[in-house]
Chains A and B, each alone.
Chain A
Amino acid sequence: MRLLKPIFCFAGLAAFLLFAGCEDDMGGAQRPCESDFDQQALFAHTADEIILPGYTALEMSANNLHAAAFDFAEAPSTQTLADAREAFEAAYLSWQQVAQFGFGPAEAVALRATLNNFPLNISALESKIEGEDYDFTNPNTFDKGFPALDYLLYGVGDGSVEAVTEQFADAKYATFLTEQTAFIADAAKSVSDAWRNEYRDQFVVNEGTAAGASLSQIINGLNEHYEMIKRDKIGIPAGVVTLGFTNPDKVEAPHSGLSLALAQRALLAAERFYLGTGQNGQNGPGLDDYLESVNATKEGESLNARIQQQFETAKAALEAVPAPLRTAVDDSNDLVVTAYNEITKQIVNIKTDMPSVLCVAITYIDNPSDSD
């Protein structure tokens, strides 16, 4: 035993030196994860110029929607319906701006699931109306929120102005409509208030790269939102997950014909958030600056430049699709699939590369047991 020890020690040391010296096949990148990027500036700008104005806009447009819906329900007419539809359109578009901030206060009330689960289950909605069920809090049902309004304001009967106004002579429809718009307005207000009151400061100081830190939250939020655009808004209707058999009825807003505009707005919102573009178009600290600060490159070029380029390409491809999406998935399927593919190409950049080079711990899929 006495002899063995020095031998082992020597062998260990020799192996150590040998491998430390020559096993440099991992590339020479030095000092990863280090950055003097000011996270708090990013969070403050994102909160003050993007998230808060976004939720405020949603709150205001939801209030307008509720007021217009109330007027329409009181006195259904061509004019009040037109007003309600206009307010609906504005509110639905402003929802797309904040859909990506589903953490914190929005998560607490399951905002996305209560406001925008689609495709709508029409028969479930009809029985909800019949049953005078005004509970809109179940995140697992597809019988409420904006998709329900899309149907109520554009789709009942044959969807014509006459048919819709006629239907709303039924008090159950009228009550359901205003209960639903009141719920949306309340939900928007509660999230907006929470951000204004205490969550904003909490968010700004929650630095670091741990799961649950603000950086991890916003990157996950962006990715969840982006996956929704890719899969639910475009992919499923276009038939890319169903062997090329299209599903035109599964678009986000089949009755109003807003689906394409909603998808475009959602994509634009993702890009503006990534770039740190504020409400008045002013540029501030964004994830783009963070990536530049760590000099992230991929295949020899700047990762940030690749992401920006891909946003442009994806937006252009989506622009090329003729509205409404519901008919385009059949009439111009190749254009929709092209848009889908361009949107998809971004995912590796923002979902795999960005967290990796920013050293964000990706533990949002929780481990069912231990790790090692």
Chain B
Amino acid sequence: MGWQSANSMVHALQSIRSPRHLRALLSRRSTNSAHTNTGASLSTHIQTWNDARGYATQVQPAAPEINFEKFQALPARIIPTSPAYFSGSPKFIDHSLRLEGILAKYASLPTVPAREAPRMAWFRLPQFREFVGEPIPTKKYKGLLRILQRLNRIDPAITPREVRDTLNDFLRPGNPYDIKLAPRTLDELGRARGKGKRKASHAVVHLVEGEGEVLINGKSLTEAFPRVHDRESATWALRCSSRLDKYNVWARVKGGGTTGQAEAITLALARALLVHEPALKPILRRAGVITVDPRRVERKKPGRKKARKMPTWVKR
């Protein structure tokens, strides 16, 4: 039956492509979720079919062949397990419907603000596509994520077990948010160290309590940066937190040009300042010295004069 539709063909080929470990994960989870699909006439067959999908190398049809011998009474019409069977993406729709049902059920529970909710590493889109084995558009996945985030905002103290289990199905394997870095501290001489990069420059800043003196590569601020704008951007983290006359800066910076060096110092200085005063983080973030600018020079391409510039058009 499945072989007759082009859609099923696509699904079968995708299941070949998908890696083995995710397949195994998928089959385990689908087994759990199969309890929710009750009342369908083919539930036992679905069970075996799901188990069979654990082998990625096998070419799997959308459903096994129906053995008409086993039927006690031949039904008038064969009905698939999922009502979304004939849609393009039945499993995705099943997941969505299940989440919407849970959300409707627990909509009245109190929620917490988004920043107080536990941090969850949801599937990224390509991973989710492999998980369900269906080509899901970005927009639809974003809708699904919105429901997941809403469920996650239910007050953690009273979250029902069902919600918790369901949400866990959509997490990436491993927990990236579990890694806790050791907080940076001052060294025995009261110095904080911070590193920063911008364009081709990288800077290391040592920050001590002091009176606002700045030394960059052994030179004063005016000698290092003749342009006032560069001086302002290098000391911007201290300036915007009104700490310019509270600390002494000792910086080493190399690579790149003047602007890159100044802005690498900005970033390194902000990180060193956070070691002294971690509470300044929101202020510094608003000042724009926490966010890293990862842009680099775009590479030159063959057939072009520069990265984008085309050679001049000549008639012949």
A and B together in one complex: no
